[in-house]
Amino acid sequence: MGKRFINELTPGEFIEDEIYCLAQKDLRSTTNGALYIHAVLADKTGQVPARMWQASEQIYKELDQKGFVRVKGRTENYKGSLQFIIEGIRPVSPDEVNIEDFLPHTEKDIDEMFKRMLEILRKIKNRNLLFLIKEFLSDKDLMEKFKRAPAAVNMHHSYLGGLLEHTLNLLELALVIGPKYPQVNMDLLLAGTFLHDIGKTQELEYDIAFKYSDEGQLIGHLVIGAIMVEQKARNVQDETGGVFPQELMQMLQHIILSHHGEHEFGSPVLPKTAEAIILHYIDNLDAKVEQVRTQIEKSQQTDPDSNWTGYIKSLERTLFKKNIME
């Protein structure tokens, strides 16, 4: 029998043996002093609150604060919502888990997206930028992270492969928009677009759940990305014997550091070149349209009879979701 995903569970079922992510756990006591575990079980389709009655401190301590668990138990309706009553639970090694059951994944082909990205980057003619891009692409560990990383924890493209998908979208947009303006340096725009979110490979963790790393919370992907450019440029100098142009490196770092567009959104500097301004707006466009898509799809599932989504805080509006072309 295949995996029972959380969005497939209904009240009154008995689950003999299933693996879920333990997203949260607390040891609590009832009014008569008996201990029980309050938990949240999760997979890529959602979460469900869970209770384990007649628990003990030993059982609680054996469970990681966040990890995978094998459970058996039953589902029930509690105040109109689904609840899982745990009758047996034990920790599971990540090696026993298909991570794609627990983390959402891009619907697109990662290898095909990466291949298309390389085709676009080959359009760069500037020798120094080509050497720099090669330095990033030849870092196999970094590129494996780049292919798998989400673009965000929960705002946009928040799924495995999301960073690559988002970056490729921006490169395609840059190819359309950049040539419209003769003053735009296309080599710089393409290189900056490829590298604008490279710091997210270190800012985000996505082994069990999407979350920020310590480095991500302390420094952030804008600064991490700017530092990575300087480090790779130093490698280029060592390999070629030449000196990577300081002004060119600063222009790239400026694109990375300014691409959020406003100080209030985390950019230490505002976009001050044509390339940086274009990157900021296409980045914002792709992120917003992806949020529209995911919010409408979510609302179609939870409230299919309404033409409108609920209020979406990140977009500061409701969305009209009826497709009048159907």
Mean pLDDT of 159-187: 97
Mean pLDDT of 11-34: 91
The answer on 227 and 144 residing in a single domain is: yes
- Element (H or E) spanning 278, and its range? helix 274-302
Mean pLDDT of 171-178: 98
Q: Which of 225, 232, 217, 291 is nearest to 258 (CA)?
A: 225
- What is the predicted pLDDT for the residue at 325? 63
Least confident interval from 51-60, 213-222, 254-263, 302-311 = 302-311
The answer on 267 and 222 residing in a single domain is: yes
SS3 state of residue 247: helix
φ, ψ (nearest 5 deg) of residue 74: -135, 155
Higher pLDDT, 149 or 43: 149
For residues 97 and 150, the answer to whether their CB atoms sit within 8 Å is no
The answer on 212 and 178 residing in a single domain is: yes
CATH number for 240:
1.10.3210
Least confident interval from 159-168, 283-292, 296-305 = 296-305
205 in a domain, yes or no? yes
319 in a domain, yes or no? no
Return the DSSP state at 47.
Answer: E
* Contacts for 178 with CB less than 8 Å, ≥ 6 apart: 184, 186, 189, 190, 278
Q: What is the pLDDT of residues 63-102, one digit of tens each?
A: 987 789 999 999 999 888 899 999 999 999 888 888 888 8
The answer on 167 and 148 residing in a single domain is: yes
Mean pLDDT of 165-174: 98
316 in a domain, yes or no? no
- CA dist 132 and 253 (Å) reads 13
Q: How far is CA 81 from CA 3, 9, 48, 224, 303, in A?
A: 22, 11, 9, 42, 16
314 in a domain, yes or no? no
φ, ψ (nearest 5 deg) of residue 22: -85, 95
322 in a domain, yes or no? no
pLDDT above 80 for 135: yes
For residue 149, the enclosing domain spans 106-291
Mean pLDDT of 285-293: 92
Domain boundary residue among 63, 83, 99?
A: 99
Domain count, the chain: 2
Higher pLDDT, 40 or 191: 191
- What is the predicted pLDDT for the residue at 2? 67
Three-state SS letters, 93-138: CHHHCCHHHCCCECCCCHHHHHHHHHHHHCCCCCHHHHHHHHHHHC
The answer on 261 and 122 residing in a single domain is: yes
Higher pLDDT, 147 or 305: 147
303 in a domain, yes or no? no
pLDDT above 80 for 29: yes
- Determine the residue type at 229: V
How confident is residue 35, by pLDDT bands cut at 50, 70 and 90? very high
* Contacts for 226 with CB less than 8 Å, ≥ 6 apart: 199, 253, 256, 257
Mean pLDDT of 136-142: 96
Across the chain, mean pLDDT equals 91
The answer on 112 and 183 residing in a single domain is: yes
How confident is residue 20, by pLDDT bands cut at 50, 70 and 90? very high
Mean pLDDT of 13-29: 91
- CA dist 92 and 14 (Å) reads 20
Which residues are 26's β-sheet partners?
38
> Do strands 204-205 and 211-212 pair parallel, antiparallel, or not at all (unpaired)?
antiparallel
Q: Take residue 181 and report the two structure tokens written for it.
A: 């303006």
The answer on 270 and 143 residing in a single domain is: yes
Percentage of residues in the chain having pLDDT higher than 70: 97
pLDDT above 70 for 177: yes
The answer on 30 and 136 residing in a single domain is: no
- Determine the residue type at 248: L
Q: How far is CA 242 from CA 130, 137, 153, 239, in A?
A: 14, 20, 40, 8
Q: What is the pLDDT of residues 211-258, one digit of tens each?
A: 889 999 999 999 999 999 999 999 987 776 678 999 999 999 999 999
Length in residues, the chain: 326
- Determine the residue type at 206: Y
- CA dist 7 and 97 (Å) reads 19
Least confident interval from 2-6, 70-74, 236-240, 300-304 = 236-240
pLDDT above 90 for 294: no
